[in-house]
Amino acid sequence: MDRIPHRPAWLPIAALYLAALVNAHHLAWWSLPVLLLATAWHLRAALFGLAQPGRAARLGFAALVTLGVLLSFRTLNGISAGATLLVAMTAAKLFEARANRDWYVICGATLFLLLAACLDRQQLWRLPLYALCLLLCLGALRGLSGGAPVPVATQLRESARQLLYALPLAVLCFLFFPRLPGAFWSLNAGDEAISGLGDEMSPGRIARLSESDEPALRARFDGPPPPAAQRYWRGPVLHDFDGYTWRRHHGGAPPAGALDYRGPAYHYSERLEPNAHGTVVALEMSQPPDTPYVSMSADFQLLSRRPSLEARSYELTAYPQATMGGELPPAARQMDLELPPGRNPRAREFAQRLRAQAPDPAAYLSSVYAFLRDGGFVYTLVPQPLGRDSVDELLFGTREGFCGHYASAFVDLMRAAGIPARVVTGYQGGEWNPIGRYLLVRQRDAHAWAEVWLDGRGWLRADPTAVVAPERLQRDLLQFGDGLGNGAARLLGSSRWLTGFLQAWDAANAWWQDDVVGFNAARQHGLAGRMGFGDRDWQTLTITLAAGLCTWLAWIAWSLRRLARAARPDALARGWRQVDRRLARAGFPRASHEGVLAYCDRLELNQPAAAAALRPLARRYAQLRYGPPAGNAAQREFLLAARAYRLRLARPAA
């Protein structure tokens, strides 16, 4: 194998580094330093002509990095462990990269790393990085393909042209290659944490979410969205309380009333980001979607039997004014009246005193609302820490907190007075994006409220935060200045053009996730239907794909027609071709591989007279074609001689 020059090696090295960087979020921490070390060693050897490490050293290095992957991930399976091992082994290959074959292996490993990054992350902002990495890798392969050395700029330009030629085919296959329902492959997310609500709520949990700008869901409505006061997005419902933390009831909630759908309906499509609690967070009260793996629980949660490791889309209908009535079974009543013994004694005594003064549960509810409204309570996301009796300390000590504090204290007061109550977590509000025309709910919109049971009226939503800080339900969270967010977030919130830019970027991201990443079999059949195909099955898609492929091939052939068309011969060549045709008709054809003088030598063996007549003309042609440049007069003289020879050859023998 020929050793490639040092300069073209920069392209495959640059492509390898970019592929490693787009995988950096899931690589072992030591893999990139190892790659840097191997690159430095290779460049040192290439620049100064030093020897590369021996075979034993390279094998020892490969064994060492394999052991490092096992220690870091406890396995060699999975996308993170596999990508780390591939980076480490490619670094080992740099220690022996001498010939074209070695660089071909490195380019192949780079393409596999790029594939790993594409499978793991599909965000829109990564697309230019993926395209640049592919361009660098193709440019490197172009430089390794042999022939005369080509400048790097030419390699990249030719590679970009090849990508542009391939782009229509990629779009065609993306749109019309028949897709199977569901995911073609599934990647294990491992132990990666998912930001969002969970199965439990403690003071501080929602405060941390409120500082996160990550999207939780996007909802597109057929008509106008519901008003801000009705934008409650129901998530996990919490029943069990230990005095500090609320948790889901692990045994499953017993039947607790029935839904009566009434009032205006909101039809909407929702794209829900991955979550760790398995709940389809949806607008209250939404009917279950028409999918077999989503059902409604007894406490009106939409539960998914599929793991929520990727964003999913749902078609839903919500009735925010629906009532949760019926009869409350004794088991459900008992579950939502339980309180931990010996915890928060002041709150229990206070609740019992208020309840004794109230004629009915509704009046008691109003008394608690009045206490929260007039008691000097403050809404803040940086409250003082609470101890073992968190409700007592909040109500009679600090008097400051956020929605989680007030929902917890409110339900505790309800249960202490003998009124069944529970905590509901989810999101409240949402930001309307006028460009994408959807409602964006972020993690910072995380919210907690309460539901109380009143006999004859059923479950009623009770939001103590709306009493303490009613503006919380109407304003963007960035307007609460005490400890919320950072200076950059405040700047973005106060700048109109930055807000518009962020909305446009989020709309582009939503389009990318919904229409590109989320393009599945159902959307493919919908596209075929919009194009007017009556039978929207795989056969129709296959025929469409075949027709598009033929069109693409015709376009490629038309685009490359100048390369396929041979150059028009000059006058000298045309003159000799006419002689060739006349000789062929006379029975003396010249082979395509023969030069004119070699042809004369062969012709002399069988037709010495014809060869003797042709040789002066052949010598003159060879001199004009391959000798020093001659003038136009000499060329005209040759063309006249060739014409005279053709005429003599065409004249029948006497």
Pairing assessment for the beta strands 438-442 and 458-462 based on DSSP bridges: unpaired
CA distance 648 to 355: 130
Segment 96-102 shows an average pLDDT of 83
DSSP helix/strand/coil, 238: strand
Q: Residue 556 domain-assigned?
A: no
pLDDT of 572-592, one tens digit each?
Answer: 888 888 888 888 888 888 888
Find out whether 322 and 259 touch, Cβ atoms under 8 Å.
Answer: yes
pLDDT of amino acid 652: 57
pLDDT > 70: percent of the chain:
85
- DSSP string spanning 289-303? PS-TTEEE-TTS-EE
CB under 8 Å to 601, separation ≥6 — which residues? 611
Buried b (16+ CB within 10 A) or exposed e, 210-220: bebeebbbbbb
> Are residues 117 and 207 located together in one domain of the fold?
no
CA distance 361 to 365: 6
**Longest CA–CA separation in the chain, Å:** 143
Buried b (16+ CB within 10 A) or exposed e, 28-55: beebbebbeebeebbeebbeeeeebbee
pLDDT of 45-85, one tens digit each?
Answer: 777 777 777 788 888 888 998 899 899 888 888 888 999 99
Where would I find the beta strands (DSSP E) of 384-464?
A: 400-401, 421-428, 431-433, 438-442, 446-454, 458-462
> Are residues 479 and 588 located together in one domain of the fold?
no
CA distance 522 to 527: 9
> Are residues 119 and 254 located together in one domain of the fold?
no
CA distance 34 to 61: 10
pLDDT of 366-400, one tens digit each?
Answer: 999 999 999 889 888 788 888 888 888 889 988 88
> Are residues 125 and 231 located together in one domain of the fold?
no
> Are residues 130 and 230 located together in one domain of the fold?
no
Instruction: Pull the structure tokens for residue 643.
Output: 């014409």
Q: Residue 471 domain-assigned?
A: yes
- pLDDT tier at 477, thresholds 50, 70, 90: very low
Cα–Cα distance list, 563 to 557, 558, 574 (Å):
10, 10, 21
Segment 449-476 shows an average pLDDT of 83
Q: Residue 180 domain-assigned?
A: no
> Are residues 608 and 459 located together in one domain of the fold?
no
On the CB side of 502, how many CA atoms lie within 13 Å of its CA? 17
222: annotated active-site residue: no
pLDDT of amino acid 205: 53
pLDDT of 625-648, one tens digit each?
Answer: 888 877 788 888 888 888 888 888
pLDDT of 219-235, one tens digit each?
Answer: 999 988 888 888 999 99
Asked if the model's pLDDT at residue 245 lies above 90, the reply is no
> Which range (65-79, 348-362, 518-532) has the least confidence?
518-532
Q: Residue 542 domain-assigned?
A: no
173: annotated active-site residue: no
Residue among 269, 274, 276 nearest 515 (CA)? 269
> Are residues 76 and 210 located together in one domain of the fold?
no
Q: Identify the residue with better confidence: 325 or 70.
A: 70
On the CB side of 402, how many CA atoms lie within 13 Å of its CA? 30
> Are residues 484 and 580 located together in one domain of the fold?
no
- Map tokens 């929605």 to a residue: 403
- pLDDT tier at 191, thresholds 50, 70, 90: very low
CA distance 196 to 282: 14
Q: Identify the residue with better confidence: 30 or 535.
A: 30
Instruction: Pull the structure tokens for residue 103.
Output: 């660089």
Catalytically annotated residue among 102, 447, 506, 600: 447
> Are residues 426 and 333 located together in one domain of the fold?
yes
Residue among 135, 164, 170, 172 nearest 152 (CA)? 135
Mean of pLDDT over the chain: 82
For residue 304, the surrounding DSSP H or E stretch is strand 302-304
Residue among 460, 457, 449 nearest 237 (CA)? 449
Find out whether 329 and 256 touch, Cβ atoms under 8 Å.
Answer: yes
Q: Among 494, 524, 550, where does a domain finish?
A: 494
Instruction: Pull the structure tokens for residue 151.
Output: 């400048």
Asked if the model's pLDDT at residue 20 lies above 90, the reply is yes
Residue among 70, 68, 3 nearest 32 (CA)? 68
Asked if the model's pLDDT at residue 498 lies above 50, the reply is yes
Query: How many helices (H) does the chain have, and how many strands (E)?
Result: 23, 19
Residue among 258, 450, 462 nearest 362 (CA)? 462
Asked if the model's pLDDT at residue 203 lies above 70, the reply is no
Q: Identify the residue with better confidence: 524 or 69.
A: 69
Residue among 487, 488, 485, 494 nearest 382 (CA)? 485
> Which range (134-143, 386-395, 445-454, 526-535) has the least confidence?
526-535
pLDDT of amino acid 518: 75
Q: Residue 156 domain-assigned?
A: no
Q: Residue 151 domain-assigned?
A: no
Q: Identify the residue with better confidence: 6 or 202.
A: 202
Q: Identify the residue with better confidence: 479 or 13.
A: 13
Instruction: Pull the structure tokens for residue 342.
Output: 């010996």
- Map tokens 């053009």 to a residue: 497
Q: Identify the residue with better confidence: 574 or 475.
A: 574
- Look up the domain containing 60 and give its range: 7-145
Count: domains in the chain = 3
Asked if the model's pLDDT at residue 614 lies above 90, the reply is no
> Are residues 429 and 285 located together in one domain of the fold?
yes
Q: Among 451, 475, 494, where does a domain finish?
A: 494
> Are residues 108 and 206 located together in one domain of the fold?
no
Q: Among 123, 145, 167, where does a domain finish?
A: 145
Catalytically annotated residue among 463, 506, 525, 600: 463
CA distance 365 to 359: 11
Segment 2-16 shows an average pLDDT of 66
Q: Residue 394 domain-assigned?
A: yes
Segment 245-270 shows an average pLDDT of 78
> Are residues 336 and 485 located together in one domain of the fold?
yes
Q: Residue 51 domain-assigned?
A: yes
pLDDT of amino acid 421: 93
Catalytically annotated residue among 336, 403, 506, 525: 403
